[in-house]
Structure 1
Amino acid sequence: MDGNPLILLAQAAEAWRHRDIAPALRHDTRRAVLDWFASMLPGCIEGPAVTLAHALAADRGSGSAVAYTGGPTGSARFAALINGTASHTVEFDDIYRDGGYHAGSPTISAALAVAQAEGVDADAFHRAVIGGYEVGCRIAMALQPSHYRDWHITATVGTMGAAVSTAMLKGCDATGIGHAIAIASSFAGGHQENLQGQGLTKPLHCGHAAEAGVLAGLAAAAGITGSPDSLHAPHGYAAATSDGTGDWNRALAGLGDWTPISRMTYKNHGCCGHIFPTLDGLRALQAQVDFAPEDVAQVEVAGYGPTKSICDRMEVNSARDARFSVQYCTAALLHMGGVRLAAFAPEALARADLRAFMPRVRVTEDPAIAAAYPGRRQARLQVTLTDGTVLDHFQPTRKGDPDDPLSDAELFAKYDELALGVLAADDARRLKDTVMSSGDLPGAVPLTGRRPATA
């Protein structure tokens, strides 16, 4: 590594305040914002964000930032907390594959709240989002894969991405942005038990990351400083939360030549991304051989580490459990034709046919596939039919990953599916038009619908 990684990342973020943004990059940024809204809106009517907004109503504060669960505008910190929590509730938020990191939930939640509070235009907002993704995604690469053993990387690194966006919108130079990163590194937390275990804390990880990042950015803008060695020092953040002091050569490769927001994964299924290769592989097999659930005797899934350690889950007592179960999601795909919101509604969770199918699914770890993680998310499937036919398939990637991306039409269809029922059709269309083509910031939208419980 040649140079201090925190300083180099802060300089890269500061450059995005002024450098030219190519039309393709601008479009990529608008896609990221639209996908954030698609993921966030269902969490505004069901789940922890709604509960939290009521519980903290007295702390809403004054200001022009919008908490999309409803109510008057308030402070940027309040809006970032509520929207960050909502955006991670139904598990549809974007992924930076090489870091295993959901960049949008904390970064856009913070950036939009601060942009609304500061009254800036869409250009300044987009620049802050790009800079936040730049720093957060690259720090995630430096820490992975060992960080993920004990830490939820979106909860931790998301704090730093949110801090960068906030500092940029507050007009900080590279020195100020660096202090925001350093301060945020002391706020960054969120462990794996609250990702893998019981409870509803996981969405709050993203809400806290967004709010804590706003706090760090505001603190840096006010002149509070942090250690410039906070990321890579022997007792800095990487050393405290991963094996070693960070792979900064990997993280900083290509800095200034390409930017992570143009290499994002957009979810095509409403569950944990570690399950996607299984679902995509099953779809590929069904395209070759027309089989129904009752034709299946066994499904063997060989994946990488988290496929087994996080998603090999037979005990499913809630929608949250179901979203992290290869067994349940496989049953839902084969019986319902898809793994979207309907798969986690109470009536789906109660279906006896889905529960009866789950024991037919067995999950193992494949050493070669594990070695390719996190840069590749793959699965090897073997489906045995009741007539004795054995179907083998290797799934090399996931639909939605940069090498098999969602088209604009597919992304818009996802947005329409998730937004409609939460918003009236005209309001959903206007919001999409504002995000994809306007120079104005998105504002408040009226919630008119009610989805089944999804938390």
Structure 2
Amino acid sequence: MSKYEQAMPNTKIIIDFICDTKYEDIPEEVIENAKGRILDCIGVAYSGGTESVGKVTKDFIRSYGTGKPEATIVGANMKTDVMNASFANGILMDAIDYNDHFLLSHPSVGVAPALLPVAEMVGASGKEILTAFVVGIEVYTKINQAMTTEPWYHGFHATGIWTTCGAVAVAGKLLKLDKDQMLMAWGLACSTFSGLKRNVGVHAKPFHVGRSIEGGVRSALLASLGFTSHVDAFEGKEGFMDVFCTNPHYEYIQELGKLWDLKEHPTCIKPHPSCGTTHAPMSGMMEIVKKYDFKEEDVERIDVGMTSGGSFKMFFPDPKDIYEAKFSIHFCVALVLHYKDWGLRYHTEAVVNDPAMRKLYPLVNHYLDEDLDKQVGKDFADYHAIVTVVLKDGTQYRVHAHPPVLNYDQIKEKFYDSTCNYDLITREHSDKIVDMIKNLEKYEIKDLISLIS
């Protein structure tokens, strides 16, 4: 009996989906949404490389990277071995919290950092790249839903857990592992998760992503050479799901290939580099400042009602730097009040410590909205907020807000913001990347790498 034949039922569903899914099986809308998220990840990797954590990561690879130069680090003019490239891309793509979000996590950054290096190593076609990305995202989001957000509430940075699943899926798909090999890779990846919540808000946070991405790629490569794991590592006793989740919802895994999350529940693309939970409050604040005529001097306070998941994530009421500001509802809401805008241009130490901004932080009061918590639950913290602006004359403006939804053209503008506005590449160069991703099925990985190296 083969190893695959010994696997438990839900594990088999995952392995079948990874190994059997073809480009032609994927709905067109899913493919188009995948393109937007690949473009977004490349853009945020460029801007992430300008951060201190990005610079240190590139210095680390230059100093200690080993192996043959077979894979590219995005925007770094540098090649290294496939595992170090995946590790570095993971850190760069997560460095400024500008990636997409879904149920308190970041699916695309759990896939794209491995996608590009492994695709380059094997010489993948555009259709193979898109297929692998979709497979990785769908596996990630289905396991995210099956496990719920429980790991977050036990102190884990949950993105670092599910990233191993996305990374090994995309790597195994591109390496064309057979089902026995894919099962072994899957089991190995179950032991390579990374991330403690206490390390959110510092360099260690994107390290979680890089480490888990590298672990997923390493697992697939080891399995391709015959390295083994337990066939029940995912859903057996003391396995991945048993350890992280008290009541798994395996029905989500059983939807793989039937209900496509990139169509029905697409990940939210961020318009501002901050924690996903800040975007519904920022969206609500933006709606209020655009709709009503008042000055910030008129504001008595701003109440931000969140679910237990959202209110629990906001660590820094008085942020001192951009890393703390990304996890500060006080900064993010004050930013929209003060500038009536958002985006990467405001992601600076000068803005965080501007005296005019610092005067606004104490006005923001975030609290647990018990009614909202009962309605939507803590798992959907990223998607809801009640924003109430109270003026000194007693006037109140209140909205139930959700994160903004960006289309491809808006993602394209965000890409320009992440690249051209940093003077990292020219607008003409950016246009070439945008156009190639839009028509990626017609190209090869070598064409894309020539533009993003």
The normalised TM-score by structure 2 is 0.91
For residues 254-311 of structure 1, give each alpha carbon's deviation from its aligned partner in whole angstroms, at most 9, with x where no partner exists: 3222222332211122211111111111122223312221121100111012322221
1:21 equivalent in alignment to 2:26: yes
Farther off after superposition, 5-14 or 223-232 = 223-232
Match 2:317 to one of 303, 314, 318: 314
For residues 389-415 of structure 1, give each alpha carbon's deviation from its aligned partner in whole angstroms, at most 9, with x where no partner exists: 1222222x2212xxxxx1222111111
1:75 equivalent in alignment to 2:81: yes
Match 1:115 to one of 112, 116, 119: 119
Match 1:157 to one of 132, 154, 162: 162
Contact 2:320/2:353 (8 A) holds in 1: no
For residues 329-382 of structure 1, give each alpha carbon's deviation from its aligned partner in whole angstroms, at most 9, with x where no partner exists: 111111122232222212112200111111111111112322413246211122
Once superposed, what is the RMSD of the aligned Cα atoms?
Answer: 2.0
1:426 equivalent in alignment to 2:428: yes
Residue 372 of structure 2: aligned partner: 369
Q: Give the deviation of 1:19 after TM superposition.
A: 4.4
Residue 3 of structure 2: aligned partner: none
- Specify every segment of 5 or more residues in structure 1 that has no aligned partner in the other structure, as ranges: 401-405, 448-455
Q: Give the deviation of 1:243 after TM superposition.
A: 2.8
For residues 24-70 of structure 1, give each alpha carbon's deviation from its aligned partner in whole angstroms, at most 9, with x where no partner exists: 22212211111111221101222313212212323242133101252
The normalised TM-score by structure 1 is 0.90
Contact 1:319/1:349 (8 A) holds in 2: yes
Q: Give the deviation of 1:91 after TM superposition.
A: 1.0
Contact 1:181/1:216 (8 A) holds in 2: yes
Match 1:380 to one of 382, 386, 396: 386
Contact 1:312/1:327 (8 A) holds in 2: no
Code of the residue aligned with 1:413 in structure 2: it is: E
Residue 95 of structure 2: aligned partner: 89
Farther off after superposition, 159-168 or 306-315 = 306-315
Contact 2:188/2:228 (8 A) holds in 1: yes
Give 3-state SS (helix, strand or coil) of 1:232's partner: coil
Contact 1:163/1:216 (8 A) holds in 2: yes
Residue identity over aligned pairs, in percent, reads: 19
Give matches, 1:10-89, under 5 Å: 10-17=15-22, 19-57=24-62, 58-89=64-95
Contact 1:91/1:272 (8 A) holds in 2: yes
Match 1:390 to one of 393, 396, 399: 396
Cα distance in 2 for partners of 1:29, 1:242 equals 28
Q: Give the deviation of 1:117 after TM superposition.
A: 0.9
Contact 1:101/1:137 (8 A) holds in 2: no
| Structure whose residues are more often helix by fraction | 2
Contact 1:17/1:168 (8 A) holds in 2: no
Aligned residues: 434
Code of the residue aligned with 2:249 in structure 1: it is: D
Cα distance in 2 for partners of 1:156, 1:266 equals 21
Alpha carbons of structure 1 residues 20 and 242: separation in structure 2 relative to 1, 3 Å: closer
Code of the residue aligned with 1:266 in structure 2: it is: I
- Specify every segment of 5 or more residues in structure 2 that has no aligned partner in the other structure, as ranges: 1-6
1:137 equivalent in alignment to 2:141: yes
Residue 4 of structure 2: aligned partner: none
Match 1:106 to one of 104, 107, 110: 110
1:409 equivalent in alignment to 2:415: no
Contact 2:87/2:214 (8 A) holds in 1: yes
Q: Give the deviation of 1:235 after TM superposition.
A: 0.6
Contact 2:149/2:158 (8 A) holds in 1: no
Alpha carbons of structure 1 residues 43 and 427: separation in structure 2 relative to 1, 3 Å: same
Residue 267 of structure 1: aligned partner: 270
Code of the residue aligned with 1:415 in structure 2: it is: F
